[in-house]
Structure 1
Amino acid sequence: MSENNKSTLIVFSGDLDKAIASFIIATGAAAMGKQVTMFFTFWGISLLRKENYHGTGKKSFLEKMFGWMLPKGPDKLGLSKMNFGGLGAWMMKYIMKKKNIATLQELMETAKEMDVKLVVCSMSMDVLGIKKEELIDGLEYAGVATYLAEADDANINLFV
């Protein structure tokens, strides 16, 4: 068996706790010297959205609805369980701060500094009506074939 040094994660969820876990795993793998690719698809794209973007491009009614319904950025995500209208997410962030645990935003910045590759699914962007200018800087855009090529060459592949 040939030894390789790559890991991939598919970030499908737009939930705060799952996003935190994804970035903890990604930065941990990068700290171990692995080349890490995170592939953001469907609801996972929400955490890459700019919080204050008020688009100028033309969108269909349904694309506007997705834009309105999806959270804008990491600070707007709720928990997958026990969210209670945002109270659960607030509690999670509060406890993390009290225990000096990095926020999701800090984990995302650390991942970029560690050269974790952040790839956004272009097909999901088309379905949800999300444009590149709505997303944070430093991203790559590709289809599933690009992710599968990365995954085929990796020894760890996770779906979150």
Structure 2
Amino acid sequence: MEAQKQTTMVVFSGDLDKAMASFIIATGAAAMGNRVTMFFTFWGLNILRKEQHVPVQKGFLEKMFERMMPRGPGKLGISKLNMGGMGRTMMKHIMKKKNVASLPELIQLAKELDVEMIACTMSMDVLGIKEEELADGLKFAGVATYLAEAEQSRVNLFI
């Protein structure tokens, strides 16, 4: 019996278009029967942030990061031609018109397909993000956990 194929990816970017690509690839690989692990680090953590404010104890610099970073998939800008958010609005409009799944829909699909989503605890510490500020159903771990998964993977991406 052949071992289950595995796909891993580091999701470093918090840009909407790159987040979309990450989840399209992840759900595609999972639909093909692959075991999929996504490791969210630095700006990629913004994809997983809850859109509503969660009151948690933070220091001054952590509060500044919280205010500067987008909160959740609905607030992400695009990597090129964002134009103060207008590019994001145009992209979402076209995606809806063309029946392309939204980022929240892709995230839900990934959960349904048992895609493992790991939030990098070191990046969380650096950016002042607490577990309760992130989506439910995540695993919290460091880079060693991701690297152990990546060693077993046939496909490893950095987005």
| Structure 2 length-normalised TM | 0.97
User: Are 2:65 and 1:38 aligned?
Assistant: no
2:136 matched residue in structure 1: 137
> How far 1:3 sits from its partner (Å)?
6.0
Structure 2: how far apart are the matches of 1:152 and 1:4?
Answer: 14
- AA aligned to 2:13 is S
> How far 1:54 sits from its partner (Å)?
3.3
Q: Which 4+ residue blocks in structure 1 deviate beyond 2 angstroms?
A: none
Contact 2:40–2:118 under 8 Å retained in 1: yes
- AA aligned to 1:150 is E
Structure 2 unaligned regions, length at least 5:
none
Q: Residues 155 and 4 from structure 1, CA distance in 2 versus in 1: closer, same or farther, beyond 3 angstroms?
A: farther
1:29 matched residue in structure 2: 29
Structure 1: how far apart are the matches of 2:141 and 2:43?
Answer: 16
Structure 2: how far apart are the matches of 1:97 and 1:75?
Answer: 14
- AA aligned to 1:105 is P
Aligned CA RMSD, in angstroms, stands at 1.0
1:5 matched residue in structure 2: 5
Within a 5 Å distance, the mapping from 1:1-160 to structure 2 comes to 4-55=4-55, 57-160=56-159
> How far 1:48 sits from its partner (Å)?
0.5
Structure 2: how far apart are the matches of 1:97 and 1:141?
Answer: 32
Identity %: 65
Q: Deviations over 1:16-37 (max 9, x none)?
A: 0000000000000001000000
Structure 1 unaligned regions, length at least 5:
none
- AA aligned to 2:90 is M
More off after superposition, 23-32 vs 58-67 = 58-67
Q: Deviations over 1:85-120 (max 9, x none)?
A: 001010110000001010000000000000000000
Structure 2: how far apart are the matches of 1:58 and 1:22?
Answer: 31
Name the SS for the 1:141 alignment partner.
strand
Q: How many residues align?
A: 158
Contact 1:4–1:154 under 8 Å retained in 2: no
- AA aligned to 2:20 is I
